Amino acid sequence: MKISIGPCLFDWGKQGISDFYKRMAFETEADILYIGEVVCSKRLHLSPQELIKLAEELKSSGKEIVLSMLGLVMTEEEQVEIRQMAQLAKEVGLHIEANDMASIGVGEGQPMVAGPHICSYNPETLDFLEEVGVDRVVLPVELSAKYISGIFRDVKSIESEVFAYGRLPLTFSARCYTARAFNLPKVNCQYKCGDYPDGMPMHTQENKQFLVINGIETMSELVYNLIGDLKTLQDMNIDILRLSPQSKNMADVVNIWKSAIKGKIGRKEALAKLLEINGNDPFCNGYFHERPGLEFI
């Protein structure tokens, strides 16, 4: 079972993103790195050419590098951007991660990963995706273990990847929630996302933390964590576990997961270590157990 580090979903700036992935490439035992902007085209601090240059540098670590595409393609300019990304990836032999069907259309015929924002809910969808070039599917985050097993029951040729750790990316909207929180228009957002390296907490009217807003994206307030379900994931023959970037202690998170996969530490010890890293804040994993997402089983 491999470990992937997903695309950074937050605005850490050009240097912050580059430094983060260099650390993940050369200081952790992760197997796959996804780089590229998924949430907002205004955050494309690295041009397609700069992303390719970074990918080439990261490849020297021996890890697989995948270029991630936008989760919501809304303008012609964004379509031009994803076409350019797909072409450059093809030229240097990299997979692209499509998170919108527009990217599936652009990348048809070249190696692709269907990201968690593609609605891969049944074997028939996997058959279609395979026909257009997809050889790995990252399952939507709300699916249970039972549902995932059903989707992949008779599928042998497509790799399976499951979101296993991090704040859940739940929805996208054309409106920028972060800009709206500051009474700013989306076109003049002043890059307020950059002030919240792990997203902006949102509270209910009863002042209880509920969700995290991240530009046009809504995320879970609790960190999703399937470390306690590692044996189930192994029994399901899941190929890859995705850990989503966070601003602190990410190398430690990766190494704990890798140690648990190798059997060097038990699941209970791994959970205790991750809980400490998370400031003893609770985790969630309800979706995996067919329960409300906020719950932790």
Q: What CATH number is given for 2-169+220-289 in this structure? A: 3.20.20.110
The residue to which tokens 């030229």 are assigned = 91
pLDDT along the chain (297 residues), means of 10: 97 95 96 96 88 95 96 92 93 95 91 96 93 95 95 84 97 93 93 95 89 96 97 95 97 97 96 96 96 95
Q: For residue 157, what pLDDT is reported?
A: 87
Q: For residue 223, what pLDDT is reported?
A: 97
Q: For residue 45, what pLDDT is reported?
A: 85
Here the tokens at position 54 are 């970074």
Quote the CA–CA distance of 247 and 197 in Å, as a whole number. 6
pTM flag (> 0.75): yes
Quote the CA–CA distance of 159 and 293 in Å, as a whole number. 25
Exposure on the CB side of residue 292, measured as CA atoms within 13 A: 3
Please, is 42 exposed, middle or buried when counting C-beta atoms within 10 Å of its C-beta (0-12, 13-18, 19+)? middle
243: Cβ–Cβ under 8 A, 6 or more apart, which residues?
3, 4, 5, 6, 30, 164, 165, 166, 250, 253, 254, 257
Taking the domains of the chain in order of start, what are their residue ranges?
A: 2-169+220-289
> Which residue from 23, 127, 107 is spatially nearest to 66, judged by alpha carbons?
107
Per DSSP, the three-state class of 286 is helix
